[in-house]
């Protein structure tokens, strides 16, 4: 079965202009200006993408795919994500994480959910661990797990500067970073250490100290939630300028923004203006994670739930409100996170030989119209056409 996409303005994520794309099975077979051999292909379907921009499928590198939360007791454990919640947001590749709760949720369940999402049609991976140290492993050794288990591509999210963390010591973070570094060399995976940042006064001090006291670099770690308050965000500018990856979270609520959280589209503008290459910058949703509100004594006050659907609106705002070129803004949810984690099959890019993950955007509004994952249409004209096994159809 072959599909020929014609008359598309293609961003790969670099702007390529008008192109045709030939898809066979799950792969992009060819890209060019005009495909002349259509009569030689059996069962060819032609898609007219006039009026659309075709961009890589989105990579959300921080999603609680089996749910998260629990900070307000058992009833506040958030639910698992569904396939259509991801695809309608344009997400075709996802990296699953645990969070505060490593008692009732486990990495084994995370891997099983990643495999389920792949069976349902998208691509998924997982990180080993949770907020807490020491890490719980399968084999008894972190490095063995990362090298030998294909679905595990890094560690995290390990929490620092947060009252919910295990208050890790400098030596613990150095050892975790060192083990992940070698595991990445042996396996060819990114094997980054994803670090959750809370509102604690330490901010990024511990990560700067790790680099000062070891042979590790800042690029071994990917700190996230860096936009949660102005002080942390300002420190993240230094982190990026010294070569580290910076990840900001798109899920939020009005209260957090009123209290000083930096809107992601504005954060991207600040990073770029400061001289941080876009290749070091990523957006992630914290989808299905709890967005708890605590008082000054750490008492739980209530929560909302993060959503993958928050990612694309922030990129669109970066284009329309912050006047960032589309091919630049796209990278923070396509090529940058995919390259940080060294995802296979050229995720985050559109090129022959790579997986056929694409989002069709309306040329004027940049609204999501159609989503293709591994060569299969998952969303058409904004509506899901493929559902997860247990999803309820309306």
Question: Cα angle at 13 between 15 and 181, to 5 degrees?
Answer: 145
Q: Which of 162, 286, 317, 355 is catalytic?
A: 286
Exposure string of 118-147, with b = 16+ CB inside 10 Å and e = fewer, is bebbbbbbbbbbbbbbebbbeeeebbebbb
Residue 83, Cβ density class (10 Å: 0-12 exposed, 13-18 middle, ≥19 buried)? buried
CA-CA distance, 4 to 88, in Å (whole number)? 22
Provide the residue count of the chain: 394
Active-site residue 286, yes or no?
yes
According to DSSP, the residues that pair with 291 across neighbouring strands are 304
Is residue 211 helix, strand or coil?
helix
Q: What H or E segment, with its residue span, contains residue 292?
A: strand 290-294
CA-CA distance, 125 to 93, in Å (whole number)? 8
Cα separations in angstroms, 283 against 106, 149, 167, 194, 199: 25, 26, 26, 13, 19
Neighbours of 153 (CB within 10 A): 25
Residue showing tokens 């299905």: 288
Neighbours of 171 (CB within 10 A): 11
Residue 224, Cβ density class (10 Å: 0-12 exposed, 13-18 middle, ≥19 buried)? buried
Q: Which of 122, 61, 89, 13 is nearest to 282 (CA)?
A: 61
CA-CA distance, 92 to 88, in Å (whole number)? 10
State the chain's maximal CA–CA distance in angstroms: 70
Q: Which of 106, 108, 146 is nearest to 130 (CA)?
A: 106
- Kindly list the catalytic residues: 286
């Amino acid at each position: 079965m072959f599909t020929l996409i014609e008359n598309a303005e293609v961003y790969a994520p670099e702007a390529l202009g008008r192109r045709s794309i030939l898809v066979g099975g799950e792969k992009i077979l060819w890209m060019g200006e005009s495909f002349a051999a259509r009569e030689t292909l059996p069962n060819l379907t032609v898609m007219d993408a006039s009026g659309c921009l075709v961009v890589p499928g989105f990579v959300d590198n921080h999603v609680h795919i089996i749910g998260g939360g629990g900070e307000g007791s058992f009833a506040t454990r958030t639910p698992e994500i569904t396939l259509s919640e991801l695809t309608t947001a344009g997400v075709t590749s996802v990296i699953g994480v645990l969070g505060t709760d490593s008692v009732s949720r486990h990495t084994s369940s995370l891997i099983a959910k990643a495999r389920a999402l792949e069976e349902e049609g998208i691509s998924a991976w997982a990180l080993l661990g949770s907020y807490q140290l020491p890490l719980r492993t399968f084999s008894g050794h972190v490095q063995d797990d990362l090298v030998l288990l294909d679905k595990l591509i890094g560690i995290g999210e390990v929490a620092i500067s947060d009252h919910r963390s295990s208050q890790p010591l400098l030596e613990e973070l150095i050892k975790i970073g060192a083990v992940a570094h070698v595991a990445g060399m042996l396996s060819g995976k990114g094997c980054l250490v994803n670090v959750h940042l809370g509102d604690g006064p330490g901010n990024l001090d511990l990560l700067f100290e790790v680099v000062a006291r070891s042979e590790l670099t800042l690029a071994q770690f990917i700190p996230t939630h860096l936009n949660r308050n102005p002080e942390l965000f300002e420190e993240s500018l230094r982190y990026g300028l010294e070569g580290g990856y910076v990840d900001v979270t798109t899920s939020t609520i009005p209260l957090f923004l009123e209290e000083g959280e930096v809107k992601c589209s504005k954060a991207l503008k600040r990073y770029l203006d400061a001289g941080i290459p876009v290749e070091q910058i990523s957006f992630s949703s914290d989808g299905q994670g709890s967005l708890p509100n605590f008082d000054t004594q750490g008492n739980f006050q209530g929560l909302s739930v993060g959503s993958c659907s928050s990612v694309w609106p922030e990129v669109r705002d970066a284009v329309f409100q912050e006047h960032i070129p589309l091919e630049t803004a796209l990278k923070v949810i396509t090529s940058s996170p995919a390259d940080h984690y060294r995802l296979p099959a050229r995720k985050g890019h559109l090129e022959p030989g790579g997986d056929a993950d694409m989002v069709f955007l309306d040329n004027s509004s940049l609204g999501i119209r159609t989503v293709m994952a591994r060569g299969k249409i998952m969303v058409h004209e904004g509506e899901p056409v493929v559902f997860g096994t247990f999803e309820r159809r309306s």
